[in-house]
Structure 1
Amino acid sequence: MNTFKRAGVIAIIAGILAGLTACDGMTRRQRDTAIGAGVGGVAGAAIGGNALSTLGGAAVGGIIGNQVGK
């Protein structure tokens, strides 16, 4: 079970990194929001281990990234 969880986190990180390659035309604030949401989602998944914690982490991370990007 732990191996599947780790593989899922690795897949999420790989997806985020692949998605960030499309951030070339974004403003700094948009990029920081996307990065914050990605990092928060990964952290939520790692800590909580369910979909609700992943979504919550992504939401909080996106808000923090948005504010940092001001």
Structure 2
Amino acid sequence: MERSKKKIIVAAAAVMALAAAGCTQQETNRAAVGGLVGGGLGALTGGLISHTPTGALVGAAVGAVGGAAIGAATTPKPKTCTAYDSNGQAVKVAC
């Protein structure tokens, strides 16, 4: 396969991953979004550096794992408030 065709395929994969990432709710799916974006950018980077499909696959795998890990780590914790039930006991509820 020609070098320019490989670049086009890798770039198309990255664009599709970024487009798919835009279709999710980022607040609740940060790990999924991070995995998609990381995988797409990893495939692009791996393909451009190695000039091989194997490099693109390795880049996609590493990028997806790294992106998902970062997305999960940066997900904000749900906020809770204190409310009182009918017996006067304090309970945690979503704000």
Q: What TM-score comes out, normalization by structure 1 length?
A: 0.72
* Identity within the alignment, %: 27
**Greater share of helix:** 1
Larger Rg: 2
Counterpart Cα distance in 1 of 2:22 and 2:69: 22
Q: Deviations over 1:4-40 (max 9, x none)?
A: 5554454344333433333347611110111110110
Q: Runs of at least 4 residues of structure 1 off by over 6 A?
A: none
Tell me which moved more, 16-25 or 48-57: 16-25
Mark the runs of 5 or more structure 1 residues left unpaired by the alignment.
none
Counterpart Cα distance in 2 of 1:2 and 1:50: 9
Mark the runs of 5 or more structure 2 residues left unpaired by the alignment.
74-95
Counterpart Cα distance in 2 of 1:56 and 1:2: 18
TM-aligned CA distance change 1:11 to 1:29, over 3 Å: closer
Does the Cα contact within 8 Å between 2:39 and 2:60 map onto a contact in 1? yes
Tell me which moved more, 23-32 or 34-43: 23-32
Q: What is the RMSD computed on CA atoms of the aligned residues? A: 2.2
